[in-house]
Structure 1
Amino acid sequence: MSKFAKRSEEKELMDDLNCSGEELNQTLRELKTINRWLGGNYVTTSGLEKIFKRYPQESYAVADIGCGGGDMIRVMHDWAKRQKKEVNFTGIDANRNIIDLAAVRLADLPKVAWRAQNVFDTGFSSEKVDISTCTLFTHHFTDGELVNLLQSLREKSRLGIVINDLHRHPLAYYSIKWLTGVFSKSKMVQNDAALSVLRSFSRSDWERIAKAAQLDHVEVSWHWAFRWRVIIIFK
């Protein structure tokens, strides 16, 4: 059977919630560069734009789930500022070391709160927001875990969810494997980048998972570079 036929459940090095130190710093720096090169950040902001247009408000509360080093929060903040939208962000990640790094890296942004919190902790969904975003985060979970996560985000989010994650495709896999093999100095990036593709999704995966989570009004669309944008609207 082809390695691309179904989602891999092999764990990434970054799944160790205690990872820290210079290896983590180097990994976050490289991931920021890779994502900028490949240009997939707009997939998240375009999803926000659709929800903003559908539900105009004076201000929005957005939680970035699995925020990592905070790169996507900066992207969303700068985009919202250009759009003249008032948005308060919360960055949530289960790794306290990553949250501490993100808070330092984005110390110049006044309207960002940080939470070291596991999405499966009791009480995660009790702090409500308008929109939850997940960028390159959902592939870290099995299908069953994802169903639980989506149901929890449904409780947490008043307006909707925007997901931006990878397309499990041979070209995406071999391209990122070559790119990180040549340019990366991080063992974590060299191991995790290609594995992330194998853990990611086909369109039918997303349709099956959304159905299992009993979610309606789900829009799945493909975008460069090998990204799926999943928008789930609740109102």
Structure 2
Amino acid sequence: MTAPVDGKKAPPARGRVDLRRRETTSLELMDDPECDQSALEATYGHFDLVNRLVAGWRTVYRRRILPLAKASREPLTVLDVGSGGGDVARALAGWSAADGHPLQITAIDPDPRAFDYASGRPQVPQVTFERTASRTLVEAGRTFDLVVSNHVLHHLDPEAFGALLHDSERLARKLVLHNDIARGRVAYAAYGVATAATFRGSFIHHDGLLSIRRSYRRSELAAAVPSGWLVVPQWPFRLLLTHESGETPGGARA
């Protein structure tokens, strides 16, 4: 997905990579407005498989979203921020429909390339794609039960990071779930091996490795967020940044 970044295009990393500190000056290839369009579309297409394997949304859905959907008298409304190719929104829609508690999902991305790709695929009745930004929705007074994002946090410079959290608090009536990577050597090595000879013609290998380098460790993310936000480790090599805006079934906090 596309989001504000704070660096320049990075050449492929060679040799031993220092993961002790976050990489904050390099730009992923897909974030370049002038990147190869066919490679970008191939990347969007591959996200469906990659995210199903490593992003852990199925677990997040079963543990955090489905209980809220079951307790709600009306279909939950969900905002997917920085939705990219739309694969996470479509996955959530499919799972919830199969469980008999369909979500109503609005997937937003300000990048016209992402919007064109996502809206050009066969449409899912539960998902609406919009080319817009979270701040625009805040200014319009729109709200949703849940706000989610996938692999957005590590793309953002400090100003955009703070703006996303600010907007999320105002847009979510119940719960915010920002899902991202936990930086680490095992994750970096495993991803590099798994994608080295596959996903050719896309940015999956290069940008995925850079995404890990740009991502937070748990202590770093916890130090970067204001009071009221919680960093929850997820398997494998994941961090879930959450904010509770309402109550879960039975009156307990989400």
Q: How does 1:37-48 map to 2 (within 5 A)?
A: 37-38=53-54, 40-45=56-61, 46-48=63-65
**1:128 corresponds to 2:139:** no
Q: How does 1:67-78 map to 2 (within 5 A)?
A: 67-78=83-94
The alignment covers a number of residue pairs equal to 228
Amino acid at match of 2:80: D
Q: TM-score, normalised by structure 2?
A: 0.80
* One of 153, 170, 173 as aligned partner of 1:158: 173
Single out whichever of 120-129 and 180-189 deviates more from structure 2.
Answer: 120-129
Q: Secondary structure at the match of 2:20?
A: coil
Name the counterpart of 1:82. Answer: 98
Note the C-alpha offset of 1:51.
Answer: 4.5
Q: Which runs of 5+ in 2 are unaligned?
A: 1-16, 247-254
Name the counterpart of 1:225. Answer: 236
Identity %: 24
Moved over 6 A (4+): none
Single out whichever of 115-124 and 158-167 deviates more from structure 2.
Answer: 115-124
Single out whichever of 139-148 and 150-159 deviates more from structure 2.
Answer: 139-148
Single out whichever of 12-21 and 147-156 deviates more from structure 2.
Answer: 12-21
In 2, distance between residues paired with 1:230 and 1:43? 15
Q: How does 1:19-168 map to 2 (within 5 A)?
A: 19=35, 21-38=37-54, 40-45=56-61, 46-49=63-66, 51-52=68-69, 56-107=72-123, 109-119=124-134, 123=138, 126-168=141-183
Name the counterpart of 2:205. Answer: 190
1:151–1:100: structure 2 CA closer, same or farther, 3 Å change rule? same
Q: TM-score, normalised by structure 1?
A: 0.86
Note the C-alpha offset of 1:33.
Answer: 2.0
> Quick check: 1:88–1:111 contact (8 Å CA) kept in 2?
yes
**Could you give the per-residue CA deviations for residues 133-186 of structure 1, whole angstroms, max 9, x where no partner exists?**
011121111344212210111111111211111010111112212222221213
Note the C-alpha offset of 1:83.
Answer: 2.6
Name the counterpart of 1:177. Answer: 192
